[in-house]
Structure formats: C-alpha cells, structure tokens
Structure 1
Amino acid sequence: MKKPKAIDIFCGAGGVSQALKSYFDLITAVEYDPIIAKTYELNHGSEHLIVEDIRKITKEDWLKKTNLKGEYLDLLVSTPPCQGFSRHSRKKALDSKDERNNLILETTRIADIFNPKYIFFENVDNIVNYKIFHIFLRRLVNLNRFGNEKNGNRPSYHINLKVISVNKYGVPQKRRRLILLAKRIDTFPFIDGVINTLESGIPTIKSPLSIWPKEQLAPLLGDHLSEYNLNPISAGETDSSDPLHTCRNLSDLNLKRIRSTPHDGGSRNSWPPDLLLNCHKKGNVNFGDVYGRMDRNDYAPTITCGCISYTKGRFGHPTEDRAISLREAALIQTFPLDYKFTGALSDTPYKGSKDVMARKEDIQGW
C-alpha cells in the first residue's frame, strides 16, 4: 500500500520530517538556511530538499520538483519562522512590519498549487494577536457567510486551531504553541466552516473541525533523560562517546554561581550577595529564570536558541555544575538519540559552531 504524500515547508533541521517519514511519502521539503539544510540532509537526504527562499520558488518549480502530475497532495506541513510573532518582540502585534511574518501566506500560496487534502500549521501562541494571521485564516478558509467559496480558484478549508501545551503531547517541555489543522472542503455550501465575528480579536469557526490528536502526557524531565543514560560531563567538556554531548565552558564566577544554586529548580535567589549582578540586586527584576537550574521533577523550560548558555534562561543542568549539553537540548526537543547535527557547511556531523547547532535544535524540534 502506497503511503500518502506530504510536503514539509520551513522544514528546518527536520524534526517534523522525522515524524512524517513513518507515515508519509515525503516528496519535498524546503529550507532557506544552507547550514540548517545540511543538518536536514545528514538525516533525511537531499534529493527531495529545496534550499531556497520559499518566496522565489515558482509554481513551475514546485510542479517540476514534486512531479505530482495533477495528483492531489495529501498533507502540507507549514511551520514558518516564529521570531516575529514572539512575545519577546518589542513591536506591537497590530503594527508589526516584520517581513518574516508575511511568510505564513506562503502556506496558502502553495495550497493553491496542490490543493492538499490536509494542512498542518504550527507557530507560537502569540501569533493569534497579529492581523496577518487573521488575514491568513480568512484566506485559508475561503468561505463567505453562506458557506460558499469566496475565490473559486483556490481551495477552501474546514479548520480547528488551539493553543496547546506541548507537555500534553509527549514533549517534556513547558512550551505553548498554536496548532492549526485543516481539511479540504469538497462540497458546498459548507456552513460549519464559516468564520464568525471576532472574539477577543481572534477569528472563530462556527463549528471547528472535529479532528484532533489525543493527549499523551510527557514524562517528567528526569524520567525522560534517564532513558538515554548520558555520561556526566563538566563545564566545557565533550563526551568522548558522543560529540553532541558537549557543553559550554563557564567562567570562574559562573562556576561559583551554579555551585551555589540548589539542585532541581534552584535559582539565583539562593546566592550570597557577592555573586549577584548589580541589576539583580534591584527589586522587581524580571527574567527570574536566568541562571536557574532545570528540575528533574518537572518539565523543562522552553528550549530556545540560547539553550546552551547558562546566562540566558533556566538552562543549568539539574544536578551537574554546567549548562545543559547540545545532546540534552536535542533530546528535550524529542530528536532521536542518533540524530546528527552540524554547525557548518559540512557533510561531517558535529562540526562547526555550537551556537548554530543550538539554533537548529530550536527549529522543528518537536
């Protein structure tokens, strides 16, 4: 029996493709960054990969690369860049001019080409506050108030969207994401799929698509990592048996700080005054997780591109006096233990910048 066909756009390091391969024939994937694409190639090959700005890939290019010959695509996966929608962005949601935010509209452009039966879309939860996302939803649904197509030259979709906590879906992390599932509408009128008036600024569907995955609570961080039996390492050390199990060195001052931080969730609140930064001695200081340890009896914090830096969040190891390693970050993102990374334009795994590899683990990891 043939597998259904899927396309993975904004594929990053290939975490979603890793899951797709078990159930779908992955016919094309797209990644803009050539170094990130190298990690993808190391794990999934390059024959089906397009390394290009997705906006420059024409309809003719798509049809030639996929060779679908008029067949409908079964699944389009779209996980566009989220940085412009992040809560950390200082730009106001309604007035943001971040060019990257317009990339979400590539989802509907490609859907117009292939008429996929289903679409999976994922981004940060804060995207719901942006006008461009509301435009995207209305373009994707493509229904007037009577349930008929607005534009007969593009497909229409019945959608469901939710903000979810990923720890409820097998990922041992405190991470909130917007998930959208869409099913192509083939019979009109379809009144259930109509977008209603805004509620709290977010478009709502009259009767959302009933398809949704069952919740599967993730193991706690300690239970999750214990399955892999990683060797203890010190700050600045690399495990001789696993080149990705490597962590940043720490200054003498930061070594004193982490040694003064209680295991399993401790923070800088336990430090003696001489170890505190001047800015942390003031009242009402935000970012209380900075310089903290993870807790084995809880879920990990959100893994970001700064996840291997002790100074950029609660990225201290729960018990060892160091920041988490690249391998630990990848495992928390649910990459397989044998997943290969590179931080350079190299066909050899584990070469190049640790920072670049950390950035990849934040891209398409779960």
Structure 2
Amino acid sequence: MIDEFLVVDLFCGIGGLTHGFVKEGFQVAAGIDFDNSCKYAYEKNNNTQFLHKDIGALSASDLKALFGGKRKILIGCAPCQPYSIFNRKKDVIENSDADPRWKLLYSFSSLIKETRPEVISMENVPLLKNYGDGVVFNDFVKALEDIGYHISYDIFNAQDYGVPQRRKRLVLLGSLHGKIDMIAPTHKVGKYVTVRQAIGDLSPISDGEIDKKDKLHRARKLTELTKRRIQATKEGGSWKDWDEELKLACHKKEGGEKYRSVYGRMQWDDVAPTMTTYCIGLNNGRFGHPEQDRAISLREAALLQSFPKGYSLIDSKSTFSALNIAKHIGNAVPVLLGKAIAKSIKLHLNSIQQNG
C-alpha cells in the first residue's frame, strides 16, 4: 500500500522526520528547507534530494511535480522558535512582523490546499497551540478541516517512543480518508531508553577533544572556571552543589531557582533533558556529561535525538561550524518520534485498503 505513495518533507532540516519515514519503508521524494547547510546530512543519510528553497515562496506546481504521478503525503515541522517558551514575549506575540517565521504555517496550509495530499503531518512545540491566543494554530486546523481533512492532534512525549530524552511535541495528523490515531506508546516508566543506553559506550573524551574515530564526537573547550564548576557538580546535580565562590551572581539573587538547570549534569539512568540548539554548552541547560568533566559532544546530542550512530553530519570536503551542527541537531524531529508518526500513517493507510 505505501508503495503507491511518495512523501515530501517541508522544513526538513537534517532529516530527522524523513529518516523516521525511511525506516518505516516510505519512499521520500525530497526534503525542502531554506537552510542550505542541511543539504549534506539530509542527502547523505536519506538517499533522496534536498531542495534549497524558501517554503514561503514555493509554488504548488513545483511541489506537485515532486510527486510525479504518485499519491501524496506531505509532512513537515515549521520553524518552532517563534512559538517556543524562549520567545513568549508580549511584543513578539502581538507584533506579527517581529518574527516572520510564524507566517510559514500559513504557507504550509496554502500548499496543502493547492496540492491536496491525501495525508499530512505537522510536528511542532506544544506552545504553538497558544501562540497569539491560539489564532495561528486554529487557523491552520480550520483551513484544513474546511477542505475535507479529518484532523487529530495532541501533545506527545518523545520518551514514550524510545527517544532517550524528555521532549514534548505537538503532533498533528490529517487525512482525506478519516481520522489517524497516533500509535500507543512503545515505552513506559521504568522502561525508557536512558542516557547510559544511548551514549554510555562512546569513547571517553575531554573538553576540547575530538575522538580520532568519529569527528562528530567532539566536546567544546571549557574555561578554567567552568571546568572547576563541572568538577564540583555531581551526577544529576547542578550549581547547588558548588561552593559559594563558584556560583554566578544570578544564582545568589532572589529568584535564582529558575536557573536550576544551567551547568547541570545528566543522570546515567534517566532520560536526557530536551535537546536545544545550544545543547553542547554547559551554561545553556543540563547538558553536562553524567561523569566526564565536559558538556555532551555533538555525537552524543545526536544519539539523544535518536539519530543512528552512523548518521553523518560532517562533510569532510568542506568546512563546518560545530555550533551550526548543534543547531541542526536541536531543531530536528527525533528520528524515533518521526518513525512513530510514520507507523501511525502506515496503519491508517493499511486500514483504508482493508476496508475498501
């Protein structure tokens, strides 16, 4: 049944969502993204084409051409930064011109209207539902329901689908044939994939070191003061473990509790915190290695996003930025969450076939 369909991934990034669909046996015609630095990783690992295009300027005719004569599935994750907790400032919400990326969701719905894929999926941060008093998301849902799509959506935690990370995401599924139900969780409390299981067998490295066998397994160099801080932090601990001389001014002020995760270490036998675009920096969250005195490496961040160990992110033929790769990893849809979405769609399509 799924052989009759082609998938196109909008806002594809380095291919986390695409890779989930590939692992479920879908054929992906193309990934489209405005950030051309994602091209190498996307094409290298997914055996399909990356198109460097602005989704806001993508024509329906260009999109239709990618599907050829096959049945259409359109998936994607519009940039989530405008809807994230870090951008919930009143002026950003009230002034739509403050960040034009929020308009990309409208571009997404316009392309759906004009190309009429049989199945659609959209993944984003939970706060999208409330952005601008819910207007943006509600407009998206209504636009699709008005043209015949059966829409379902809910908040799902990636840890429930084998991702070694707490990561709540809004997943929307739509079909012209009926409601699509997200598959039941594959993991539960006590059975989650842990940090130890995900990264525990990697070679030990120091801050500033690059593993000789894996260039992605590299950690940022720490200052002497930051090194002392991580050395004073126990597994699962934070700045609360430090002597007063090591604490930052913000920690000593009233309200310092809200900074409890910065400079924190992960725990071996728990899932990791949400990977962000700053996931290789100690002062950006609980991104300290459970026992080595450093922040997690790029490879470790990718594994905690459930990318396979062999997922290539560095093109040896060109220069690269570790910070840019960290951004790509943090922005990605976890592969196993993408796989769960793909499996949900596959079950839906099989059900349609069985019921005639």
Q: TM-score range by the shorter chain?
A: 0.7 to 0.9
Percentage of identical aligned residues: 35
Residue by residue, what CA displacement relative to the aligned partner does 1:79-135 show, whole Å, maximum 9, x if unpaired?
Answer: 110000011114337525121011112222222233222111100000110211111
Contact 2:22 2:28 in 1 (8 A): yes
* Structure 2 residue 91 is matched with structure 1 residue 121: no
Supply the distance in 2 between the matched residues of 1:174 and 1:349 (Cα, whole angstroms): 35
Larger radius of gyration: 1
Equivalence for 1:348: 316
TM-score, reference length from structure 1: 0.83
Runs of 4+ in 1 over 6 A off after TM superposition: none
Equivalence for 2:71: 72
Supply the distance in 2 between the matched residues of 1:58 and 1:211 (Cα, whole angstroms): 30
- Residue 171 of structure 1 is aligned with which of 163, 169, 173? 163
How far apart are residue 3 of structure 1 and its match?
Answer: 5.2
Contact 1:42 1:349 in 2 (8 A): no
Supply the distance in 1 between the matched residues of 2:333 and 2:217 (Cα, whole angstroms): 17
Supply the distance in 1 between the matched residues of 2:12 and 2:115 (Cα, whole angstroms): 18
- Secondary structure of the residue that 2:51 maps to in structure 1? strand
Alpha-carbon spacing, 1:215–1:350, altered in 2? closer, same or farther (3 Å): farther
Q: Which moved more, 1:318-327 or 1:282-291?
A: 282-291
Alignment of 1:251-330 (within 5 A): 251-263=223-235, 265-285=236-256, 286-330=258-302
Question: How many correspondences in the alignment?
Answer: 321
The root-mean-square deviation of aligned C-alpha atoms, in Å, is: 1.9
How far apart are residue 159 of structure 1 and its match?
Answer: 1.2
Contact 2:251 2:259 in 1 (8 A): no
Alignment of 1:16-31 (within 5 A): 16-22=17-23, 23-31=25-33
Alpha-carbon spacing, 1:349–1:24, altered in 2? closer, same or farther (3 Å): farther
How far apart are residue 231 of structure 1 and its match?
Answer: 0.3
Residue by residue, what CA displacement relative to the aligned partner does 1:202-253 show, whole Å, maximum 9, x if unpaired?
Answer: xxxxxxx352212012312222323xx2100011101111110000011111
How far apart are residue 363 of structure 1 and its match?
Answer: 2.5
Which consecutive unaligned segments of at least 5 residues does structure 1 have?
A: 143-154, 187-208
Alpha-carbon spacing, 1:117–1:210, altered in 2? closer, same or farther (3 Å): closer
* Structure 2 residue 199 is matched with structure 1 residue 219: no
- Residue 82 of structure 1 is aligned with which of 72, 76, 80? 80
Q: Which residue identity lines up with residue 321 of structure 2 in the other structure? A: S
Alpha-carbon spacing, 1:350–1:291, altered in 2? closer, same or farther (3 Å): farther
- Secondary structure of the residue that 1:30 maps to in structure 2? strand
Alpha-carbon spacing, 1:350–1:225, altered in 2? closer, same or farther (3 Å): farther
Q: Which moved more, 1:16-25 or 1:249-258?
A: 16-25
Equivalence for 1:39: 41
Contact 2:113 2:144 in 1 (8 A): no
Contact 1:9 1:79 in 2 (8 A): yes
RCO higher in structure (CA 8 A, sep ≥6) = 2
Which consecutive unaligned segments of at least 5 residues does structure 2 have?
A: 335-356
Equivalence for 1:247: 219
Decide which structure has greater helix share. Answer: 2
Equivalence for 1:136: 140
- Secondary structure of the residue that 1:107 maps to in structure 2? helix
